[in-house]
């Protein structure tokens, strides 16, 4: 009987720990709904806590909903997140999209040793390494030249096939997209 009680207690402890881990991990999941389906991003607060916190706050406030993929370069990356000029339902400005941020402050760089590979999510910024705000990009392919130069905030863990279907931009115009696809909704969790 004692062995059965210990086994039950162990199973209960394991279930509690697993449930806690799942709850904790869903706090660091970002789900982006696209026209072709969801994209699930595992955020990395362990390497970029300030950037991840800002992304989560913007997502929770609905700031990323309907924001355009304004720059998409075949074989390189897809960029989005300009909540100031990129909202395709309220205030979209094609001539300015990609230059804006959010009402939140710019962030100091949080560079890491995590490489830019297919599916890596990084923060977009100007020439100033400490200028990331709300815009981010998802890599179509490895980009070693970005390693240690841009902040990695996460990685696509599901739905990369949906990222691959995002409308491409004009190579002659630095990937600018006419009539771009958008993030329909973005939420923290699944």
Contact between 67 and 85 under an 8 Å Cβ cutoff? The reply is no
Which helix (H) or strand (E) element contains residue 139? strand 136-139
DSSP state of 51: H
Contact between 157 and 130 under an 8 Å Cβ cutoff? The reply is no
Q: In this predicted model, what pLDDT tens digit does every residue of 76-117 receive, in sequence order?
A: 999 999 999 999 999 899 999 999 999 999 999 999 999 999
> What value, to the nearest 5°, has the Cα angle with vertex 131 and ends 154 and 137?
35
pLDDT the model gives residue 118: 98
Has residue 9 got a pLDDT over 90?
Answer: no
Closest to 59 measured CA to CA, from 46, 40, 73: 40
Closest to 55 measured CA to CA, from 81, 84, 87: 81
Q: Which residue has the tokens 């841009």?
A: 150
- Over residues 30-36, mean pLDDT: 98
pLDDT the model gives residue 10: 44
For the whole model, what pTM was predicted? Answer: 0.87
pLDDT the model gives residue 25: 62
């Amino acid at each position: 009987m004692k062995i059965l009680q210990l086994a039950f207690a162990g199973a209960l402890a394991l279930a509690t720990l697993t449930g806690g881990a799942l709850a904790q991990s869903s706090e660091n999941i970002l789900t982006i709904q696209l026209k072709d389906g969801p994209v699930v991003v595992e955020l990395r607060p362990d390497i970029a806590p300030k950037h991840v916190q800002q992304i989560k706050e913007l997502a929770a406030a609905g700031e990323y909903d309907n924001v355009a993929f304004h720059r998409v370069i075949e074989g390189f990356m897809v960029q989005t997140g300009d909540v100031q000029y990129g909202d395709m339902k309220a205030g979209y400005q094609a001539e300015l999209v990609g230059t804006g941020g959010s009402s939140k402050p710019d962030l100091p760089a949080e560079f890491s040793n995590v490489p830019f590979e297919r599916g890596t999510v990084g923060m977009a910024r100007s020439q100033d390494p400490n200028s990331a705000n709300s815009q981010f990009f998802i890599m179509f392919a490895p980009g070693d030249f970005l390693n240690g130069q841009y902040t990695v905030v996460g990685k696509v863990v599901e739905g990369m096939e949906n990222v691959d279907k995002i409308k491409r931009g004009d190579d002659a115009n630095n990937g600018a997209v006419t009539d771009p696809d958008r993030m329909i909704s973005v939420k923290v969790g699944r």
